[in-house]
A and B are shown apart, each in its own frame.
Chain A
Amino acid sequence: MAGVIAAGPEARAAASPRRRRRRAGEVLIEAFLRLNGFIAIAAIALIFVFLFKEGVQAFHTVAPLRFVQGTELDFDNVPQVVRMWQPVGQNPKYSILPLICGSFLVALPATLLATLFGVACGIYLAEVAGRRTREVVKPAIELIAGIPSIVVGFFCLATLATLVQQVLGTEFRLNAFVGALGVSFVIVPVVATMTDDALRAVPDELRQGAHALGANRWETIARVVVPAGASGIVASILLGMGRALGETMIVLMATGNAAQVTLNPFASVRTMTATIAAELGAVPQGGEQYRALFLVGSILFTITFLINLAAEMTVARMRRRLSL
C-alpha cells in the first residue's frame, strides 16, 4: 500500500508530459473537425444566400407583377393580359405561372403513380415477402435509385415516348405524361424504401395483437400496420414529391418544353427546372433574364425546401408516437 502511494507522484510526473501532449492533440483534432464542420455548413449556407441574393435582384428591373402576368398589345393596339414565359424579344415576358403549372403537371401525376407503386413495394418488402425474397428484392429496388436520371430521360425520349403515343394516341410525342412516367420511376425507390422503414418500425406487438383478435394477414396490414406507419408513408410521399419537382434531366428530355398554362396532363409543358437548364447556358451573365432564372431557382428551392421540411416534421412526429 505504501509502495503504491510512494509510486504515485513519480508516475504522475512521468505521465504528465505525455498526457499534456495527448491533451494538445485532442484539442487540435477537435479544432480540425470543427473547422470541417463549419466549412461544410458555410458552403451549404452560401447556396441559400447566393441564390436569393441573385434572385431578388430580378425585381430591380422587372416589376414583381410581371412575374405573374404581362401585358401585350394585340392587333388593335388593345393591351391584353398574357401569361407567358418568353424572356427573349422586344417585350420579354417573365410570367412564372406556366412554369409552375408545368412543374406540378409533371410532379403530381408522378407522385400519384409513385405512391401507388412505391407504397405497394414497401408493403411487399416489409410485410409480404419472405426473408429470402426480401434479400433479393430490396437491393434490386435500391439499385433503381442508383440509375442516373439522364438514363431514364434518354429511355423516355428514345423508347417510351413512342410507345405512349402509340398506345394512348396523344397529340404530342413528348408531353407531361411521358415525363411523369419517367419521374415516377425515379421516385418509386424513395417511396418504397422509406415505406419499408416506416412499416418495419411498427412494433410486432401490434401485429400479434391483431392476429390474436382473429384478423388475417391483409386485415392486419391494412387496418393496423399501415395506419401505425402512416406518418412515415406520408413523409416518403412528400419526399418523393420534392424529388419529382426538382427532377431536371428527365423533364428536359421528355416533356416537350412548351411553356404554356394548361391543365391537360398530355400537353407539352415546360417545368421550372427545365427552363433553368435550357436557358442558363445561353444568357448574358448578370442580365435581366439571368436574374429571372435565379428567381425561378429561388422559388423552386423554397417549394422543395418546404416540402422536405414537412416530410421531416412528419417523420419526427412518427418517431415520438412510436416511442411512446
Chain B
Amino acid sequence: MAVEHESRQKGLNPPEPVLLPGQTYASIDEQISAIVLKRPLTPGWLFGTLLSFAFIMLLTFTIVYLIARGIGIWGVDVPVAWGFAIANFVWWIGIGHAGTLISAILLLLNQKWRTSINRFAEAMTLFAVACAGLFPLLHLGRPWAFYWLFPYPNTMALWPQFRSPLIWDFFAVSTYLTVSLLFWYQGLIPDAAAVRDRAQNPLKRLFFGIVSLGWRGSAIHWKYYESSYWLLAALATPLVVSVHSIVSMDFAVGIVPGWHSTIFPPYFVAGAIFSGFAMVLTLAIPLRKFYHLEDMVTLRHLENMGKIVLATSLVVAYGYFQETLMAWYSGDRFEWYMVQDRAFGNYSFAFWLLLLCNVVAPQTLWVRKWRTNVLWLFVLSLIVQIGMWTERVVIVVQSLHRDFMPSAWHMYYPTVWDWAALTGSLGLFAGLFFLFIRILPMIPTHEVQKLAHEREPHPERENPAAAAKARP
C-alpha cells in the first residue's frame, strides 16, 4: 500500500509491479503453502463456508423438489419456455470464460501479470462451469433422460439430432470443462509437490503426494511440463472463443426476434469475458485482503483487469448498438417491435438496468483514479455481474414473451424456486471456492517464483561481457 501512496503523491504513473519487492522464493513458498498447511480455521472462513453450505442445501432441496414435481415449479410457461435456468446457464458459462482466458491466452501472449491470478481464476472457471452444467440438465422436462443428447450406442439405433444447437452445446461445454480441468490440474502439479514437501501432517503429505503425481522438479519434468502446458494453452485458446459462440447459437439459430442475430457469437464472447473478469475481481479483491496477498496480487493486476473490463464493456455496448441498428435497418417488423418492447415494454426496467450496469458504470474505468480504487473495483465488479445476468434474462425472457403472435403473448414471473435455484448455485460456487482456497494453493507458487527469479539481477543476461570479466 505504501507504494500506491507514493506513486500518487508523486503524480507519476509508473506501472505497478506484478510482484512487490521483498518477496523471495522462500517467502512466496512459505506464504502460499501456509494458507493450506498452517493457517487455523478462522471464523470468517467458517462463516462463509457454512453460509455457502446453507445455500447448497437450498439448491439440493430445490433439485429434489424439481425432480419430484416437475419443471412447473419454475415460472416458465408458453411462450416463455426458457426462464432463469437458461439465463443462469449462459451467465455461469460466461463467468467460466475468464479463467481459461487468463491462463491460456494471456500465457500465450506472454502477459506476466496473469501468473498470480491464474490458479484461482481457473478454479473459478471450473466451479462456474459446474454450476452452469446443472441448469441445462435441471431445466429438462425429464432430466433423467438427459443422456439421450449423447450419441451413445443403443438398441434402437437412435442418435441425437445434430442440427440442434443444444447438441453442439453439449459437446462444447463438456470439451471446455475437460480441457479447463486438465489445464488447471497440470498447473497445480508443481505447487502440490511444493506443499507436499512442506507438509508435516502425514495425511496431508499423502494427499498432496497423490495430487502431485510424483513430481520431483527435475529438469526433464520441467521440460515436459512447459511444453505440454503451452500445448494445452494453445488447445484451450480456441475453446475460449468457441464455447460461448456455440452457447450464443442456442439463440442465434432460433427464429425468435431478439435471438436471431449474426452478431451474437462475438457479442456473447465479449460479454462472457466481461462478466468473467468482473468475477475474478470479485474474488481477487477480498482474497488479497483476507489472506494478505497484496504483494502478489498487486494493484497492477487489478488495474489490468479493470482495463479488460472496460474494453469488453465497449464491445458489449457495440453489440447492443448493432442489435438495435440492424433491427431498424432490416425493416423487419418483428425485430423492430422487439427492440421497442425491450426499451419500453414490460421488461424495460431490466433493459435500462443492464445498460446502466454494463455500459455506463464501466466507463468510470477510463479514469485511473477509479481504476485503481480497490473498493470501487469491487463494487463495479458486482454491478457488472448483476448487469450481465440481467442481460441474459432479458435476452431469454423478453425476446420470448412477445414474439410473432400477439395472441400467445404472456408474461414470465419467476417463482420462489427460480430464485432458489439461482441463489443455490451461487452458494454452490462460493462453497466450492471456500474449500478450494483452504485445500489447494490458490496462487501458482512456481510461476510467482519465476517472476521473483526474473526480477533478480541477472548480470550474465543483461551484460554478459561484464559478467565474464567479473568471473574469477
Does B bind A? no
